[in-house]
Amino acid sequence: MKQYKIAVAGTGYVGLVAGVCFAQKGHKVICVDVDQNKVKLMKSGKCPIYEENLEELMVKNYNEGRIDYTTDYKSAYKDADAIFIGVGTPEQEDGSANLSYVATVSRQIAESIKKDCLVVVKSTVPVGTNDKVEQFIKDSLVNNVKIEVASNPEFLAQGHAVRDTLQAKRIIIGTKTKEAEKMLREIYEPFNLPIVSVSRRSAEMIKYASNDFLALKISYMNDIANLCELVGANIEDVAKGMSYDPRIGSSFLHAGIGYGGSCFPKDTKALKYLAKQHGYKLRTIEAAVDVNEDQKTKLFKKASERLITFNGLKVAVLGLTFKAGTDDLREAPSINNIELLLKNGANIYAYDPVGIDNFKKKYPNQITYVENPNDALKDANVCFVFTEWEEIKKIEPKMYKELMKTPLVYDGRNIYEIDEMKDNNIEYYSIGR
């Protein structure tokens, strides 16, 4: 195997996971971030994000000398064989992607590199961005070197990002020349995974098309779940019957209170914006976005119909992150519901095994945070379940009856069996059942 010297710009979910996994496969990696405190934290062996197995691999590869962290981008980029850009591309008000961080890194690369280099955009960017990045770097080059830009989108799920990188179903590479393709193939050779080589623009589109298709599946199932409630069907039975059809598959058929996180909400809006810029209306994607937005507060609306007021009531909130296995709160349904509950005078007691510190940044004083579910449930008038953490799934139905003042439970993840909750004399509402 050929060992490459790789620099990675950005140490969020995309950049840090990529860097650590490249090191794990034998490459020499330097990760760059603007935050000195974050760099010190990573050098000390601590992971800045909650991600299964990531910290363990960080420590292992750092101790074995294959990975390091720095704020000095000039030294990191100057003699790198390949530089992977993994910075954020946050959503702007109009739904478009903010490419300012990508532009900043591109300028730094142009000013720093002193040898021929392959620049690889791993961030999720609109179709055509790689072309612009390449031209921007070439226009800004300080030294007489050759650069080329390639697209290499990630397909990791938060909570399983390391697994999804080391055991990916496929690696997508988008290149313009055979030389760039050859280098990327060699970088990924030790992963021993299928590689799909396409044009840069096709690679960029594959990322959006894949994420948005999964978002479509989720919104479709939530739409069907809402109809199931009206006609007396059970969405879980429906999903089970659908899952046996190989044309449909069993993944992403679980109904709930909508998708969140760093990818699906942003990527659906970005593709919708891209289509609009080209005079085209992506009706399926627009429908998925609308369904998801309505779905997030479905349980609050149900509870509002049941209760005359939330004012002065103790409300237990179980789960704050957008899904289990991550401390990420981006587009989490809990936020939409908690905003409404606070506006209506609720006294909220919230539990989450890893998300509380991040949630405190948004709501430092308005919520009472507790260290275990029982403290949230004790004497509560109503309970909302927003995240399917194992710690929450392990709560026995009888505990709601024993601890709550009024055993009224709104479950956005369909954790419990309806009959079991009924047998424990709990008034129970879920999705599509």
User: Catalytic residue numbers?
Assistant: 263
Task: Give, in degrees to the nearest 5, the angle at Cα 62 between 159 and 51.
Answer: 10
The two structure tokens encoding residue 256: 């709930």
Give the E-state strand segments of 161-239 in sequence order. Answer: 171-174, 195-198
Query: Exposed/middle/buried for 112, CB within 10 Å: 0-12, 13-18, 19+?
Result: buried
d(CA 256, CA 137): 44
Task: Give, in degrees to the nearest 5, the angle at Cα 237 between 233 and 243.
Answer: 135
CB count within 10 Å of CB 146 equals 12
Give the E-state strand segments of 297-407 in sequence order. Answer: 314-318, 347-351, 368-369, 382-385
Contact call for residues 9 and 105 (beta carbons, < 8 A): yes
| DSSP letter, residue 70 | E
Residues linked to residue 91 through DSSP beta bridges, in sequence order: 97
d(CA 354, CA 290): 29
The two structure tokens encoding residue 320: 């704050």
Select from 71, 94, 98 the least CA-distant residue to 9: 71
Helices (H), 297-331: 298-306
135 CA to centre of own chain? 30
Contact call for residues 213 and 264 (beta carbons, < 8 A): no
Contact call for residues 433 and 227 (beta carbons, < 8 A): no
d(CA 155, CA 121): 13
Helix-then-strand count for the chain, H and E: 19, 14
- Residue 382 in 3-state DSSP? strand
Whole-number Cα distances in Å, 295 to 40, 160, 218, 224: 41, 25, 11, 12
